[in-house]
A and B are shown apart, each in its own frame.
Chain A
Amino acid sequence: MDVKKVLFVDDSPTMRRIMVNSLNKIGFTDLIEAENGEDALEKIDEDVELILADWNMPEMNGKEMVTELKARDEYKDIPIIMVTTRGTKEDVVTAVKIGVNGYIVKPFTPETLKSKIKKVLNK
């Protein structure tokens, strides 16, 4: 998988560290970390080719962030995978409706992460 930059958004420092570890293992080393939606909107740039986002976050949650990104021409086509503890059908349907491209429920395995990323990037 040839991806330049991944933006990862989660308010939990533990999760950010685990995600960095997991992404490094599958070959993604150019990473931007953000603590919440607002932080992500400040840190994102046009080189980002994939976004992994938590849902429950303070300041601006994942759903709000995705909605905002989809409204901006420069970022609306970046694939987004939600990585969250929210796993009901309603949650997933909501995510699909706002334009999310993939959905992973925590806890996840590195293999799940890799296969979901591959699936989303190959579309």
Chain B
Amino acid sequence: MARSDHFESVIEKIKEMRDFLKIGDEIVPFLTELFSFMQDVMPIMKEANHSLKDGSQRLPTASDRIKDVDQTTEMATHEIMDRLGNISDKLDELAEGLDDSQVEIIEDIKEEANSIIVSLQFQDITAQKLEHADRILNAIRKKFTKLSNRIAKVKINSEVGKKVMEDITNTSDKETQEKIEEMNDETEDIIREGQIDQDDIDKLFE
């Protein structure tokens, strides 16, 4: 009886091992696929991490540029309105002592000047569209910063995980450096800080 029990127990163990190996048969292809997926995703995650950091640094500059455009166009618009106002006043002076037909011409010119003022509404409309674009940029920037911070806080509990994260966050490799340079070229400032005035430019040609 004891021998039969022992035999039963061995059969049981063999069955367990067989079931275990069956699971292994099912898991191995899955693990192979998972590994292949990770290989494909890794470069993307690396680039995404770099883009998140880089993007969140560049977006404030983009936002500042939008604000600059708004301020510059507002100043220019007000200057135009000032000058049109001056023209209108001078036309009023000119109209004194003129005959009716001449005064009518003066009034027509003033009306044209006024139409220009009315058409300057574009500045407000443009400013609102720019503000909308700025809000979008800021929303994206916040998202980028949040994601970037989350990546930095990922808890690593395994050696494999540690190596994967090191690879994702390392930007010193050649491929990433090339991508950084490419991004720098694409986003290079056209109107740079520290521009010199015309007199200084002329001196360089003397």
Number of A-B contacts (CB under 8 A): 48
Does the CB pair B119–A85 fall under 8 Å? no
Q: Which of B139-187 contact A (CB under 8 A)?
A: none
Chain A residues whose C-beta falls within 8 Å of the C-beta of B127 in the assembled complex: 12, 14
Does the CB pair A108–B121 fall under 8 Å? yes
- State whether the Cβ of B81 lies closer than 8 Å to any Cβ in chain A: yes
User: CA separation between A109 and B81, bound complex, in Å?
Assistant: 16
- State whether the Cβ of A102 lies closer than 8 Å to any Cβ in chain B: no
User: CA separation between A30 and B94, bound complex, in Å?
Assistant: 28
Q: Report A102-123 CB contacts with B as 1/0, cut-off 8 Å.
A: 0000111110000000000000
A106 contacts which of B78, B114, B117, B124 (Cβ < 8 Å)?
A: B124
- State whether the Cβ of A60 lies closer than 8 Å to any Cβ in chain B: no
Does the CB pair B128–A85 fall under 8 Å? yes
Q: Which of B95-138 contact A (CB under 8 A)?
A: 114, 117-125, 127-128
B74 contacts which of A13, A21, A56 (Cβ < 8 Å)?
A: A13
Name which residue of chain A comes closest to B70, CB basis. Answer: A12
A56 contacts which of B117, B121, B128 (Cβ < 8 Å)?
A: B128
B78 contacts which of A14, A22, A108 (Cβ < 8 Å)?
A: A14
B124 contacts which of A15, A21, A25, A109 (Cβ < 8 Å)?
A: A15
Does the CB pair A85–B125 fall under 8 Å? yes
For B78, B119, B128, which residue has the most chain A Cβ atoms within 10 angstroms? B128
Give me the interface of B with A, judged by CB distance under 8 Å. 74, 77-78, 81, 114, 117-125, 127-128
